Amino acid sequence: MLKHVSFLTRDLGAVLAFYTRLGGVVEKDLTTAEGYRRGVIRLGEGRLQFFEVPGESPTPHGHWAEHVALHVVGLRGLLPGLRAAGVTVTRDLQPSPGGRDMAFVLDPDGRQVELLEA
């Protein structure tokens, strides 16, 4: 069972807001003993953990194969709101191989996020 996946971020506040908009719940937003800002988002049973580390820059690869995949409810209604908020859509709404609605967007750090209708 997956506990969490951890990433670096340039702007923890923007990342927490982005994943909250996708149905996540902020479990932690704190400063570690080392002085790093740490945030944890719960998405269903799993978690995404982000560290804002001064001087470190996340370098996500732009290829769609490297991505976070999330089940969301109401993707057709969610996607226009993401666009209006300035989120970049890299693959527009289309059927997934299994026939569900699917789209790819970029999170605030440029990380690919697959959105798949739950």
Q: What is the mean pLDDT of the chain?
A: 91
- Domain 5-117 is of which CATH architecture? Roll (3.10)
Q: What are the tens digits of pLDDT across the range 52-78?
A: 987 777 777 766 777 899 999 999 999
The DSSP line for the chain is ----EEEE-S-HHHHHHHHHHTT-EEEEEEE-TTS-EEEEEEETTEEEEEEE-TT-------STTSEEEEEES-HHHHHHHHHHTTPPEEEEEEE-TTSSEEEEEE-TTS-EEEEEE-
The domain limits of the chain are 5-117
The ranges of the chain with pLDDT < 70 are 1-2, 62-63
Instruction: Classify strands 89-95 and 25-31 as parallel, antiparallel or unpaired.
Output: unpaired
This prediction's pTM = 0.86
